[in-house]
Amino acid sequence: MRFDVVTLYPEMLVPFASEGILRGAQDKGILEIHLHDLRLFSPDPRGLVDDRPFGGGAGMVLRPEPFLRALAAIEGEIGRRPYAVLLSAQGIRFTQEVAKELARQGAVALLCGRYEGVDERVASLCDLELSIGDFVLAGGELAAAVVVETTARMVPGVVGRHESAATDSFYAGPGLGYPQYTRPRVFQGMEVPEVLLSGDHDKIRRWREKEAWRKTLRHRPDLVGLNAPSSSHRA
């Protein structure tokens, strides 16, 4: 799978793309992550990419031409149009289901905004406008990192064992993941639940399901009622 990130600050994402599972997946040829400097696609000889908003208002707005020229360059390089995503506080909410859909696209271009925003005509020409939450960042770079890592985990071979991703919170539904334990068996007086040491896989499965929904009730009660299990598993 290929990711192209178009940003004013590509250097912000170099360390992120060079470590951990992303580095390993790139070394194995499973992923490609390409970072593009938006200024290089400016039609202005000085590399300007922003201008004052029509109608007045504070701040500067990123012009549409650099983004569209960047998308055209990516298309010329890979031989097809990438799935274009504008990262914006005004977009739809990014979820695990959206990540799964992006992973099926094969080539995704992430466009990072800055300043007061991006000319609306960019959004109208993208396939998706996406927000990672109900808050405002200074730019789309951190959002791009979230989208790349979450989506990359859905690509077979990126995570060593795909079952690891399949047990994540939100992977199979809206609930949170179950609690995990490892050695030591006793730590500062806190013991690993006995059921996890029993070897009874059916009991372990039922315990994990119950504890996942217990954690969901405690930390994200807004999710309860969305595909929730029977009341006997919520206690």
For residues 146 and 117, the answer to whether their CB atoms sit within 8 Å is: no
**Residue ranges in the chain modelled with pLDDT below 70:** 161-174, 225-235
Question: What type of residue sits at position 176?
Answer: L
| Helix/strand/coil (H/E/C) assignment for every residue in 33-99 | EEEEEHHHHCCCCCCCCEECCCCCCCCCEECHHHHHHHHHHHHHHHCCCCEEEEEEEEEEECCHHHH
The pLDDT score that the predictor gives to residue 223 is: 82
Residues 147 and 47: their CA atoms lie apart, in Å, by: 27
The pLDDT score that the predictor gives to residue 19 is: 96
For residues 133 and 89, the answer to whether their CB atoms sit within 8 Å is: no
The pLDDT score that the predictor gives to residue 228 is: 45
Give the pLDDT confidence of 172-181 residue by residue, as tens digits.
556 888 999 9
The pLDDT score that the predictor gives to residue 168 is: 58
For residues 204 and 167, the answer to whether their CB atoms sit within 8 Å is: no
Burial string for 163-175 (b: 16+ CB within 10 Å, else e) reads eebeeebbbeebb
Map out the domains of the chain with their CATH numbers.
2-152 (3.40.1280.10), 176-233 (1.10.1270.20)
Q: What is the DSSP string of 170-206?
A: TSSSSSPPPP---S-SEETTEEPPGGGGS--HHHHHH
The pLDDT score that the predictor gives to residue 233 is: 35
Residue 185 token pair: 């068996």
Look up tokens 């201008």; give the residue: 51
Q: pTM for this one? A: 0.84
- How big is the chain, counted in residues? 235
User: Where on the phi/psi map is residue 144: left (φ > 0), alpha (ψ -120 to 50), or beta?
Assistant: alpha
DSSP structural state of residue 224 = T
The pLDDT score that the predictor gives to residue 222 is: 86
